[in-house]
């Protein structure tokens, strides 16, 4: 029996086995087997999907734009970015990815139109896996659907899920420490719904014989397996509803309830018209917020504060991260930094490397000569 048939059999068995306490460990084993076999199939077909296609990332952050054909992706890309001048930079064997650069608040945000996701991606046909590797490494995914086809969102999400992309969630708090002997031990800081035996059988199925596993949240089987597999990408997402210019106001409630049916808060969906260039400022702002970028204005000796081209960092980044991004050999020469702005207690506060910076801080690094 080939791998594909084995996968099909496992899927059938999982689908036909009722889930309850007495079958939980069994289903855990089946799901684990399935995950491992899918992994193997992927490796055999040489379509790892885990990067490795050398997609060059440019700019301060990367956004993947995913949607069905004709929803308006290229119209949006052209409206938001300087796309045309860069088209063709990404040549894949069978499918193209079209990049454009969105300039906002001094940051360069690379937007990738990923047209082939649905036609090519399923099951690793054609160049689909290459396209997926682009999506997997993005900092943010923007789903684009048209007002009349909100249901396409389901297919898109499903496609990404199948390809190990987990949306809008943090990695599961599951850590595994291998050891030399003593078998498997399960520690949990929550009162787990899953039986200890189930957790152990999942681990065994993934090849663990001696290990301590620590679980820090209420996980279901799928999330436990995600934690054990440790090769899922966790990416935040937004939903842009395009062609909003085409609907009459009395159709809006229909669109909103379609969104709600899919767990999307209509207030959070971003209604746009790529063609009429409506709602694009709002979309840009949402992208900015979702990326969690912060602007740091560098105060350079003799040159003053540069507010035109801020250093772009991520929320939570420190002075150390700023030094790294600046590139200079600050490592040995760094003495201290002075910060004025939202993260400082007072103007010109003297701080060390581990000081966490905030949006619109002014930063001066004092280094030894």
Ligand X SMILES: Nc1nc2c(ncn2[C@@H]2O[C@H](COP(=O)(O)OP(=O)(O)OP(=O)(O)O)[C@@H](O)[C@H]2O)c(=O)[nH]1
Residues that bind ligand X (CB under 6 A): 67, 69-75, 115, 242-243, 245-246, 273-275
Contacts (Cβ under 8 Å, ≥6 apart) of 24: 194, 195, 198, 221
Residue placing its CB nearer to ligand X in the complex, 45 or 78: 78
Query: Least CB distance from residue 113 to ligand X, whole Å?
Result: 6
Residue placing its CB nearer to ligand X in the complex, 8 or 70: 70
Query: Least CB distance from residue 108 to ligand X, whole Å?
Result: 22
Query: Least CB distance from residue 116 to ligand X, whole Å?
Result: 8
Query: Least CB distance from residue 262 to ligand X, whole Å?
Result: 20
Query: Least CB distance from residue 223 to ligand X, whole Å?
Result: 32
Residue placing its CB nearer to ligand X in the complex, 75 or 340: 75
Please give the structure tokens belonging to residue 259: 């969104």
Burial 351-360 (b: 16+ CB within 10 A, else e): bebebebbbb
DSSP string, 190-204: S--SS-HHHHHHHHH
Cα 323 to chain centroid distance, Å, stands at 26
Residue placing its CB nearer to ligand X in the complex, 136 or 243: 243
Residue placing its CB nearer to ligand X in the complex, 184 or 280: 280
Residue placing its CB nearer to ligand X in the complex, 6 or 149: 149
Q: Count of alpha carbons within 13 Å of 230, Cβ hemisphere only?
A: 7
Query: Least CB distance from residue 77 to ligand X, whole Å?
Result: 8
DSSP string, 70-85: TSSHHHHHHHHS-HHH
């Amino acid at each position: 029996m080939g791998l594909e048939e084995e996968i099909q059999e496992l899927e059938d068995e999982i689908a036909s086995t009722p889930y309850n306490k007495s079958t939980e460990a069994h289903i855990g084993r089946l799901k684990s087997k399935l995950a491992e076999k899918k992994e193997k199939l992927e490796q055999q077909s040489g379509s790892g999907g885990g990067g490795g296609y050398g997609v060059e990332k440019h700019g301060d952050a990367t956004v993947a734009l995913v949607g069905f054909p004709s929803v308006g992706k290229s119209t949006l890309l052209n409206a938001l970015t300087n796309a045309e001048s860069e088209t063709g930079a990404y040549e894949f064997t069978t499918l193209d990815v079209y990049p454009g650069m969105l300039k906002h608040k001094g940051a360069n945000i690379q937007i990738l139109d990923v047209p082939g996701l649905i036609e090519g991606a399923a099951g690793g046909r054609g160049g689909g896996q290459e396209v997926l590797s682009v999506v997997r490494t993005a900092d943010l995914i923007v789903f684009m659907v048209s007002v009349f086809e909100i249901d396409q969102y389901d297919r898109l999400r499903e496609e990404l899920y199948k390809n190990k992309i987990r949306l809008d969630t943090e990695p599961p708090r599951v850590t595994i420490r291998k050891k030399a002997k003593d078998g498997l031990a399960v520690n949990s800081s929550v009162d787990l719904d899953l039986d200890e035996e189930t957790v152990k059988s999942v681990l065994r199925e993934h090849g663990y014989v001696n290990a301590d596993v620590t679980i820090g949240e209420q996980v279901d089987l799928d999330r436990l397996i995600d934690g054990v597999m440790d090769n899922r990408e966790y990416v935040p997402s937004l939903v842009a509803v395009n062609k909003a210019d085409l609907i009459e106001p009395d159709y809006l409630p229909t669109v909103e309830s379609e969104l709600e049916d899919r767990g999307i808060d209509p207030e959070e969906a971003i209604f746009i018209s790529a063609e009429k260039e409506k709602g694009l400022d709002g979309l840009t702002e949402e992208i900015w917020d979702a990326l969690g970028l912060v602007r740091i204005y560098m105060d350079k000796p003799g040159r003053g504060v540069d507010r035109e081209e801020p250093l772009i960092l991520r929320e939570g980044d420190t002075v150390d991260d700023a030094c790294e991004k600046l590139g200079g050999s600050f490592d040995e020469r760094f003495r201290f930094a002075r910060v004025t702005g939202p993260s400082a207690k007072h103007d010109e506060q003297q701080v060390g490397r581990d000081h966490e910076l905030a949006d619109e801080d002014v930063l001066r690094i004092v280094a030894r000569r």
